[in-house]
Copies of this chain bind each other. A is one copy, B any other.
Amino acid sequence: MPVTDKKCSVNNEYAFASETKFLQQARNLVAEIATDCGFSEQIVFDIKLAAGEAIANAIEHGSPNGKSNSIKITCYCENDDFIVIVRDEGRFKKKLPVGTGDNVNFRGRGVLIMLALMDKVIIDETKSGTSVHLSKRYR
């Protein structure tokens, strides 16, 4: 049973150095929190994947100083939404991922996957970093 209660106590923060080896544990933590909040296995997969894409981007594109940058993930419930926020310390890149020219590759599907799997996506680029906010409604 989904917890649609405004008083859901989930408001969990996880901070870690921007290292590729932490991607798997970070997305699995988000998946566990979503499971605890009562989502079905299928929706948990969607949340895990969308969050995984955002975390991968934060490490790959949002950490100008590499491992000395940190990533912060916050998960909480608000009204009818389960929300994951991924914050990094980078500037949003003003370039589209389009391969090296003659070879248009498949890059650039991360954001489209987030949109396809979540109900609301906010990408907010500020001077102190990018934050990606993903929400999934309880249905």
Instruction: Say whether B119 contacts A121, CB under 8 Å.
Output: no
Complex-state Cα separation, A96 to B115, whole angstroms:
9
Residues of B within 8 A of A122 (CB): 120-123
Complex-state Cα separation, A109 to B126, whole angstroms:
22
A-B contact pairs, 21 of them (CB 8 A): A92-B115, A92-B116, A96-B109, A96-B113, A96-B116, A104-B104, A104-B106, A108-B108, A108-B109, A108-B112, A111-B111, A111-B112, A111-B115, A115-B123, A119-B125, A119-B126, A120-B124, A120-B125, A121-B123, A122-B122, A122-B123
Please list the residues of chain A having a beta carbon within 8 angstroms of any beta carbon in chain B. Answer: 92-97, 104, 106, 108-109, 111-113, 115-117, 119-126
